[in-house]
Amino acid sequence: MFFGYKVHMIAEAESEVPLGFFIAPANMHDKLGFGKLITEIRKRFSIAEDAKYLADSAYDSTDVREYLHYHGIKDVIAINGRKYRKSEIPKDPEYGKRWAIERIFSRLKEVLGLSKNRFVGKKKVEIHVYSCLIAYLVNYAM
């Protein structure tokens, strides 16, 4: 998050390659970015029959789970402990692969300078994010 903006991203866990992203106001909840990201991915890529969507508890909502199930994607989403529910990590052994997105963001921020943004204005922030992502792909994904 920087100067009022946040990067929302979806990536392939095995290869740690970002598949889609967008920049939104920092006060936008992660769950609200889900629809935009998954729609973009479904337009660009064919989704395997055994596809899984790995996510932290910010994506724990009926809307997200119903959308995934409707499109034949298994949800592996941590349960957000609210009122009468206890927080819970999915038992699916592949949930650990969710850390791929955290590694991507860590490299972008700590190694490639994403967190050192000094630009103001969405267009300038977008250019900075694109530059960091290009550097990431050249260094880590090729």
**Tens of pLDDT, residues 127-139:** 999 999 999 999 8
Q: Which domain holds residue 124?
A: 5-140
Rounded Cα distance, 50 and 57, in Å? 22
Residues 107-122: what's their mean pLDDT? Answer: 88
Cross-strand partners of 21:
9
pLDDT at 1: 47
Give the model confidence (pLDDT) of 18-46 as tens digits. 999 999 888 888 888 888 888 888 899 98
Please report, for the domain that includes residue 37, its CATH number: 3.30.420.10
- For 137, the token pair is 């792909």
Rounded Cα distance, 29 and 32, in Å? 6
Q: Quote the number of domains for the chain.
A: 1
Rounded Cα distance, 12 and 124, in Å? 27
Q: What is the pTM of this model?
A: 0.82
